[in-house]
Every structure is written in C-alpha cells, then in structure tokens.
Structure 1
Amino acid sequence: MRDVLVIGGNRYFGKRLVDRLISAGDRVTALNRGSASPPSGAVHLVADRDDEAALNSALGDRTFDVAVDQVCYTPRQAAIARRVFADGRARRYVMTSTVKVYEYEDSLVYEDAVVPVREDAVDPRTVPVALALPWHKPEFRDTHYGEGKRQAEAVFAADGTEFPYTAVRVAHVLGRDDDFTGRLDHYAQRIRTGTPIAVPTENRPATYIHVDEIADFLFWAVGQDFTGPVNAASHGLLTTEELCAAVARHIPDGRTVFQNVDVGEVSPFSFARSYGMDNSRASGLGFTFGHIQEWLPRAVAETLGADAGKGE
C-alpha cells in the first residue's frame, strides 16, 4: 500500500488515475482548491497550490511515497512545489507535462520530416527559466502553455536539493464522453454542416493517446522509480484527415471540406510541424502501449455518442 498525493485530478484522466489508485488499495490524498470533491475513498485537502503558505498548512506533517501533480503549468508553481515537497515530504514527484514542450524552434528541427521525437530533444537542465514573466495571468498562461510546462520541468531538473521527479510528456488525449476540450466536437460540427476545416498548407501528423491509456500509464508510473522526462503516446501517427474520416463515419450525410491556410488559426488537431513522439523509453521501462488505429473508432464513438448525427 502506497501513500499517494494527487494535486488536481478532478476531471478527465486525473480522476481516472485516482480511481485506479483507490481500487489498487493505495491511500490517496487529493488536493485542490475545493471546486470539486474527489472520488469516494480519497482524503480531501483544500488549498490553492499557488499559495505556498496555504499549501504547507494544508499538508501539515503528511508525507507521501509519490506526489502526482496534474496542474503544474508554470515555473512559479514548480518552484513552490519543489520547496514544499523537498526534504522528504514526497519521495518522488510525478508531473504531467505535454508534447507541446517540443514546439519551439530552438528545441529541434523536425518540421521537414516525420521523425518521432525523443526525450533528449528537450533537456530541461538546459532550458532557461523566467520567473518574472506574468505567469499569474490566465491569458498569458494559456497562450504559453507549452513554454510554461517546459520551464516547470526545468525547475524540477535544476541542481540543488535532491528532488527525484518524473515529467510525463503526454500526447494529445482522446476518448470518453467527458472530454471537456470540445476538440472532436469542433470537427463534428463542421462535418455535419459542411463548414470548411482549416488546416495548414503543410499539415503534419501527431501522436495521440486514449484517456484510459494515459490513466493506466500514470498509475504504472506511480509504481516505478525512474526519473526525468518520459514520452507517453500510443504507437502510430494520425493526420487531421484520418481523424476527420473517423468522425465522419458517425455523421450520416455529413461533408468533410478542408481549407488550406498559410497564416491564421487552424483547427485543433492540425499542425504545421510534426508532433510525433518516440515512446521507446517508456516501452523499454516496461509499459505496453496500444496502437492508435486499434482504439480510434472507439474513442470517437465514446466522445460523440448518439448526438453525432443530429443537427445543431
């Protein structure tokens, strides 16, 4: 039996992780700002994780085998976490990061070839940290999501007090009927009405993972002792066209129309550069990934459901 702290985790794959931990017999403590209660069986702590004093007070003298941070978006939040959980309060820290840490030009040059990117393409020990940026502003944080995660990893990786951490770089997540992002529905609405779907002129594929698979991965990672960045993605790549074809199968009489754009906003799962991740590190450590083509039809059906063929 392990003592596991989950920070955030009230929705989507976070709540599925909590369910898996409780079902396995782990002692689970869930910490959030009080906006939602965790699943039955978890101890509930309320604190704003941006308030260091409040976080320390809520945790008290509790210690944990593993802390899983589902809502660390900025280097400021990472710096608070590192101070709060140092000196044995958590023996290991697992942060959910993102494929978007790879989106910066100085990180790698994968634009011209579909080459799955390895973890060492972004070494957090070499990433500069800018704590003075306005990370406290939601609009800034939202528009700098990948950079915030990248710098948060850098804070955990920095020299200093020993801090065993793992950064799980999560691929684009699909599946289930509680997907709050609305990204698949974006495509469904346009296919249903024949509205053009904006894609880059050079539209590149990406890696994905099912919501249940990433919950399984995080549950597995809790029981491991490896540290550093690790990519979490199903096998295989998926283009916007393939994703739309899967959506269109659930919309009788729908019409899929693509519109190439060189400048401007594109649809949610359209990318001017490759977002394929190499998952060989995690596979070598013992996790078995599925293939995207095996679960894609199910994921689309789960999210769109019976309403997929209905009008507006």
Structure 2
Amino acid sequence: MKNILVIGGTRFFGRHLVNQLLGRGHKVTIATRGQTPDTFGDRVQRIKVNRRDREAMIKAFANTDYFDLIYDQMCYNLLDIDIANDVFDGNVGRYIMSSTIETYNHLMGLQSNPYKENDFNLSAVDVEQTFPWHEASYMQSRYADGKRQAEAHLYNTSILPAVTVRIGHVIAGREDFTKRLQSYVLAAIEGTSIPTSPAPQPSSFITVRDIVAFLIWLGEQNFIGPINAACEPALALDDILKSVQEICQKPIKTHLSSNAQSQRTPYDYLSPHVMDTGRAKDLGFKFSPILESLPRLVQELLDDLVVEA
C-alpha cells in the first residue's frame, strides 16, 4: 500500500484515477478547493486548499506524512512548480505532473515525424518568472506555454523526482466537459454545417480508460522524465466525422473555412500534430486502439442527446 496524494481528482479522468487507486488498496488524499462534490465518502482524506496559494499550501501540508507518490493534476505553470518545490521537497518519492500534447505546439508544421520526448530541449526554454501566470485569463490564453515552462522549471530546478505526462487529446463521451466530440454529434443530428480546413491533419488522442491505466502504471515504475501518452492510430478530423456519421446514420455537412487560422472546429489541424509513444512502449505499456473506443463514445453521446430531445 502506498500513501498517495492527488492534487485535483474530482473531475473528468481524475476521479477515475482516485477510484482506481482506492480499488488497489492505496491510502489516498485529495487536495482541492472543495468546490466540486465527490463520491469517495470516507475512503479518502481531504485537504481543502487553493493550489495557487503558496502560503496556504505550505500550511496545509506542514504536518502531513511522507507521500510515496503525488499526482499533480492542477499544475499549469512555473509558479505552480515553485509552490510544489517549496511544499514537497524531501516529502515525496515520485511526483507525476499531468502535462499535454500542447507542449509541442511550437513544433507544429516544423517537422514531419511524430514528436519524441526529446524533440525540444527543456533546458533551453526561456522561463518567464515575471509573467502573471496565476491570472485566470492569462493561464487560459497561454496554456501551452504555461505547461511547457512548468516542465522546464520542474526539471531545471531538479528538486522533485519528477515525471511529466504529455497527454494526447482526451476523447470522451458524456463526461467530457469540453463537449468537443458532442459538437459533431449535434451537427449530425441537427444538420448544421461545420467549417473545416481543406485537408485536416492527424493528431494524437487517448481515452479516459487509457490515460487512467497509464497513470496507474506510472505509479508502479521508477523512471523519471517526460513521457508521451496516446492511443493509436492518430486521428484526423475526417476520421472522427466518419465515425460520427456511421453511428448517427446521418451525414455531417461541411464547408471550407474562410479563415483557416481562426475558424476551425475542434481537432482540425493544419499540420500533423502527433506524438511518438515509443518510450512508453519500450518501458512496457500498451495503449489500446482508439478506433475500438470511438464508436462507443459517439453512441453514448447520441443516446444522451436522443433522451434529452
């Protein structure tokens, strides 16, 4: 049994991660602001704290036991890393930060091969300490930069034994709060036309089941460093629309976007945006085929929308 802290853990795939950890007999503490209800009952310990507040974090964790493992689902920028360094230095066996495929955004269109973890040098990333990273609008508009700088700062300070998981687009059914896949199911049902680029390019995706399984597996390993997480094959928007049309049994109308840079729909990429998962495979993890899950997710959304109608 491990003593595990999950920062976040009450939304999207985070709650599945907590349930899986509990099912494996681990002692789990969740740290949240306490604003999202959960169904864990007395199976978890709870720490109510603002992840962005350094002094509150230091106070909240001042008397906690050593954590064998920390899953930080709420780290978005280098200021969050500074807080993690201050709070958890010497008090964690392994620190796993959820990162994103969007850390590779600056390479889009510059290379044809899928991105490998070492395709950009984290030690060369300019760390922007004076930026207002904790302002909500800034965090959102600079999401990819924030994650990239968080990773760079994490490894360059070398205080925590860290793994950063660069997660592909998490594709889900009814539990996806972004409603990206749902927007295409709605387009099929309602007969609305969606704008697309002339030739949408592929990107990397992962299911909730696979990212949770991967995070659980990571917690049982001992390596450090960045690692990509994605199912295969990579999917282009056309692949997603095809699956939606087959399940809904209705065509999706499309029209060319008048401005390919600003009027594209979710998952419509002008250049390939695909991660190489060779490191994960070499270390022993096998991702499931994404095309086996996609129809089920579309059907789930369709069923919900039919009931709502």
Q: TM-score range by the shorter chain?
A: over 0.9
Instruction: Answer yes or no: is 1:194 the counterpart of 2:182.
Output: no
Select the residue among 43, 46, 49 that pairs with 1:47. 49
Task: Give the SS at the match of 1:168.
Answer: strand
| Residue aligned with 1:96, SS | strand
Task: Pick which of 14-23 and 190-199 moved more.
Answer: 190-199
Match for residue 132 of structure 1 among 94, 109, 130: 130
State the partner residue of 1:80: 83
Match of 2:242 in 1: 245
- TM-score, normalised relative to structure 2: 0.93
Q: Write out aligned runs for 1:231-242 (5 A).
A: 231-242=228-239
Equivalent positions of 1:7-86 (< 5 A) are 7-38=7-38, 39-40=40-41, 41-62=43-64, 63-86=66-89
Residue type matched to 2:59 in 1? S
What secondary structure does 1:104 align onto? helix
**Structure 2 residue 74 is the aligned partner of structure 1 residue 90:** no
Separation in 1, partners of 2:266, 2:26: 37
Structure 2 residue 224 is matched with structure 1 residue 227: yes
Within-5 A mapping of 1:113-128 = 113=112, 115-128=113-126
Match for 1:294: what amino acid? Answer: E
Contact 2:58 2:86 in 1 (8 A): no
| CA distance in 1: counterparts of 2:14 and 2:56, whole angstroms | 22
Contact 1:193 1:254 in 2 (8 A): no
Q: Rate the CA distance shift 1:310–1:37 in 2: closer, same or farther, 3 A.
A: closer
Amino acid of the residue matched to residue 25 of structure 1?
Answer: G
Residue aligned with 1:246, SS: helix
- For 1:103 and 1:142, the matched residues in 2 are separated by 15
Paired residues of 1:135 and 1:141 also in contact (CA < 8 A): yes
Work out whether residues 234 and 292 of structure 1, in 8 Å CA contact, stay in contact via their aligned partners in 2.
yes
**CA drift at 1:294:** 1.9
Q: Which residue of 2 aligns with 1:165?
A: 162
- In 2, the alpha carbon distance for the partners of 1:60 and 1:143 equals 33
TM-aligned CA deviation for residue 202 of structure 1: 4.0
CA RMSD, 1 decimal: 1.9
Structure 1's unaligned 5+ residue stretches are none
Q: Secondary structure at the residue paired with 2:106?
A: coil
* Unaligned segments of structure 2, at least 5 residues: none
Q: Distance in 2 between matches of 1:108 and 1:27?
A: 44
Partner AA of 2:248 in structure 1: I
Tell me the SS of whatever aligns to 1:266: coil
Deviation at 1:30, TM superposition (A): 0.2
SS at match of 1:149: helix
Indicate if the aligned counterparts of 1:196 and 1:259 stay in contact, CA closer than 8 A.
no
Q: Are 2:182 and 1:185 equivalent residues in the alignment?
A: yes
Amino acid at match of 1:301: Q
Aligned to 1:109: 110
Aligned partner letter, 1:211: V
- Residues in 2 aligned to 1:73 and 1:159: alpha-carbon distance in whole angstroms: 16
Q: 3-state SS of the aligned residue for 1:272?
A: coil
The answer to whether the 8 A contact 2:109-2:272 is kept is no
Given residue 72 of structure 1, which amino acid in structure 2 is its aligned partner?
A: C
Post-superposition shift, 1:37? 4.2
With 260-269 and 239-248 compared, the bigger mean Cα shift is at 260-269
The Cα shift of 1:254 comes to 4.3
Once the two structures are TM-superposed, the CA of residue 44 in structure 1 deviates from its matched residue by 0.6
Q: Residues of 1 paired with 2:308 and 2:187: CA distance?
A: 11
* Equivalent pair of 2:71/2:95 in contact (CA under 8 Å): yes
- Would you say the 8 A contact 1:72–1:78 is kept in 2? yes
Aligned-residue sequence identity (percent) comes to 33
Deviation at 1:108, TM superposition (A): 7.6
1:83 CA drift (Å) = 1.6
Q: Measured at CA, do residues 196 and 28 of structure 1 come closer, stay the same or move farther in structure 2, by a change above 3 Å?
A: same
Relative to 1, partners in 2 of residues 1:164 and 1:195: Cα closer, same or farther, differing over 3 Å?
same
- Count of residues in correspondence between the two structures: 305
> 1:141 is matched with which residue?
139
| Residues 200, 108 of structure 1: alpha-carbon distance in 2 compared, 3 angstrom cutoff | closer
Q: Contact 1:204 / 1:271 at 8 angstroms: preserved in 2?
A: yes
Cα distance in 1 for partners of 2:305, 2:36 equals 29
Q: CA deviation at 1:178?
A: 1.2
Q: Deviations over 1:23-76 (max 9, x none)?
A: 000000000011124423111100001111111111122220011100111111
* Aligned pair partner of 2:265 in 264, 267, 271: 267
